[in-house]
Amino acid sequence: MSGGSSAESTAGNPVAVVAQGVDMDFGTGAMAVKNAAFSLERGRFLTILGPSGSGKTTLLRMIAGFQTPTRGTILIGGRPADAVAPHRRSVGMVFQKLALFPHMTVEENVAFPLKMRRFNPREIPERVAHYLDLVRLAGFSKRRINALSGGQQQRVAIARALVFEPELLLLDEPLAALDRKLREEMQLEFRRIQKELGVTTINVTHDQREALVVSDEIIVMDQGEIQQQASPVGMYRRPANPFVAHFIGVSSFLTGRRTGTGLTVNGTECAGQAVDDIAPGLAAQGAIRAEQVRIAAPGGDLSGCDTVLEGQVSDSIFEGERLLYFVRLPALETTVQIYHHDPAEQAPYARGATVSVGWNARDLLIFPAKDR
């Protein structure tokens, strides 16, 4: 794990969750989780992000107590996670498949965990009403689950997970089945509710936008290993390795050799800065974000850029508020991606058009060469 973690505890913010050298081996020949180590302060929102098969859901299930690590320790509130049966832990969960009871009303679904925990029956209605109000479903208490929209069902699941005031809230890709607009609305709802309650939250997703929007911290996983833990801004601006740069945001990659001022690619010098200590002459890989590359007509003003090259537009994609260009750079024998915010009065560059592209040295991050 590397890069900008804010997980160390402070006197005012004790650690809520700690993983120490956690492995999970299912005996299939590949470790599902390898030597996972992280800590999370109380009240923070952490997202575990990664592609399918990266180990993120397995790690969450171990935190929840549904699986026991092959090796290592997970502490929740300073206590070993496996010291308490899963149903007795102060942990709320929202799953992708919400597991709501269709034969019950909304208020009956939300009251269910309180009844299971033997709360005072006289206190249950008021508590249920409070949490339905929190998720903006105050007028829906008598409705059946199948009479609700997908987003409303998500809100019921959130209220049910929070109504007994758990120490920890776990979210297992609960928004994956929603359409894009509703998913983005619910991301903001998760953030609002978490900030309002201050409940420590761990979210699992493969959606990079979701991770950036809702989180105080992000962990990126690949092939069972934690690649980086950092704030959203730190993760985006200072990825620890090419995989993180590739997985979060849209980046172009240049392969060459380290020089004193950057990277030489196919004999062309490209200004950049090294993330790690890489001796000149060693094989290296550069990564640059699509929004950090500038594009202009031939001879256009790119005087503020440290590297300027000529290329040809091979394709473009209209994304509403911006265009994504693919520009072939003959000098580098590669194609770079460029986000260009295109005012209505500015005609886009046509396929095959000759353009100039440029970037600043601070924006081309150089890593030791290795497979992504």
Q: Tens of pLDDT along 80-106?
A: 887 777 667 789 988 877 789 999 999
The reply to whether 261 and 345 lie within a common domain is yes
- Section 64-91 average pLDDT: 85
Helix (H) or strand (E) holding 112: helix 106-116
Q: How buried is residue 132: exposed, middle or buried, by Cβ count under 10 Å (0-12/13-18/19+)?
A: buried
Residue 344: predicted pLDDT: 62
Sign of the CA dihedral 358, 361, 363, 365? Answer: positive
What tokens appear for 154 in the block? 């998500």
Lowest mean pLDDT among 2-11, 46-55, 239-248, 322-331: 2-11
Q: Is residue 3 part of a domain?
A: no
Nearest of 151, 156, 137, 145 to residue 102 by alpha carbon: 145
The reply to whether 208 and 298 lie within a common domain is no
Residue 3: predicted pLDDT: 42
For residue 300, name the pLDDT band (cuts at 50, 70, 90): confident
Residue 214: predicted pLDDT: 93
The reply to whether 211 and 280 lie within a common domain is no
Tally of domains within the chain:
2
Residue 217: predicted pLDDT: 97
Q: Is residue 4 part of a domain?
A: no
Q: Select the more confidently predicted residue: 11 or 171.
A: 171
Q: Which long-range contacts (CB under 8 A, 24 or more apart) does 305-308 make?
A: 305/358, 305/359, 305/360, 306/271, 306/358, 306/359, 306/360, 306/361, 307/262, 307/269, 307/270, 307/271, 307/358, 307/359, 307/360, 307/361, 307/364, 308/356, 308/357, 308/358
- Does the pLDDT at position 1 exceed 60? no
235 neighbors 248 (Cβ within 8 angstroms)? yes
The reply to whether 204 and 321 lie within a common domain is no
Domain extent at residue 346: 250-368
Query: What does residue 145 show for φ and ψ, rounded to 5 degrees?
Result: -60, -40
The reply to whether 178 and 295 lie within a common domain is no
Q: Residue 138 gets which letter from DSSP?
A: G
Nearest of 282, 261, 217, 259 to residue 3 by alpha carbon: 217
Taking phi over 0 as left and psi of -120 to 50 as alpha, with beta for the rest, 327 belongs to beta
Q: Select the more confidently predicted residue: 5 or 18.
A: 18
Q: Tens of pLDDT along 142-170?
A: 999 999 998 899 899 999 999 999 999 99
82 neighbors 159 (Cβ within 8 angstroms)? no
The reply to whether 207 and 233 lie within a common domain is yes
The pTM assigned to this predicted structure is: 0.88
For residue 122, name the pLDDT band (cuts at 50, 70, 90): very high
What tokens appear for 314 in the block? 């091979």
One-letter identity of residue 87: H
Residue 346: predicted pLDDT: 63
- Section 286-315 average pLDDT: 93
